[in-house]
């Protein structure tokens, strides 16, 4: 039951799905002043690289969750650019 | 040069070190209203699970960066609780 594979699924789900309340919060407040642009960009670049890493090593949970996270973080970056230039 | 291992190192570095400007921003503004508490807690739980996943599969970059990220996200959670209750 507690295989590394299932751990990876739960870990990725927690992180990736956690971006949903963060996105809701920023869009609801229409403010992203506190979100660091450097954090956001660095995160997006890193997620795309993890996705590549997962593809190289055929780590399914890594591919799945980083693929979805890339989309969510791209939306957060859009929100930052729209609502909160530094 | 572009081994999966080195990819994992760069990916993890980008994400983990990206939390540093985010922490600086929140501590400087003394405000964490826009940071979702659910995002922050979910992120911390997920990072701890990725760390466990990395230990199970002996994935060194996963262990290294998630270990450091856990500390940084714990500090962000502290900042959220201190500066911005929902």
Q: Residue A42: is it exposed, middle or buried by C-beta count within 10 angstroms (0-12/13-18/19+)?
A: buried
**Stretch among A56-65, B1-10, B56-65 having the lowest mean pLDDT:** B1-10
Chain B positions touching A43 (Cβ under 8 A) are 14-15, 18
Q: Nearest by CB to B18, from A26, A29, A42: name it.
A: A42
Q: What pLDDT does B79 receive?
A: 95
Q: What pLDDT does A79 receive?
A: 95
Size of interface A-B (CB pairs under 8 A): 129
ipTM: 0.85
Chain B positions touching A77 (Cβ under 8 A) are none
The C-alpha atoms of residue A52 and residue A24 are separated, in whole angstroms, by 28
In this predicted model, what pLDDT tens digit does every residue of A56-72 receive, in sequence order? 999 898 899 999 999 99
The C-alpha atoms of residue A84 and residue A5 are separated, in whole angstroms, by 38
Tokens of A29: 């407040």
DSSP character string of A47-86: HHHHHHHHHHHT-HHHHHHHHHHHHHHHHHHHHHHHH---
Tokens of A73: 């973080």
Whether the CB-CB separation of A18 and B42 falls below 8 Å is answered with: yes
Whole-structure pTM value? 0.88
- Cβ-based neighbour number of residue A41 at 10 Å: 16
Q: Nearest by CB to B39, from A19, A34, A40: name it.
A: A19
């Amino acid at each position: 039951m507690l295989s590394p594979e299932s751990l990876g699924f739960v870990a990725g789900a927690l992180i990736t799905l956690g971006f949903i309340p963060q996105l809701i919060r920023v869009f609801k407040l229409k403010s992203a002043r506190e979100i660091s642009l450097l954090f956001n960009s660095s995160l997006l670049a890193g997620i795309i690289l993890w996705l590549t890493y997962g593809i190289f090593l055929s780590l399914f949970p890594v591919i799945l969750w980083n693929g979805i996270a890339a989309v969510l973080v791209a939306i957060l970056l859009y929100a930052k650019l729209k609502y909160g230039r530094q």
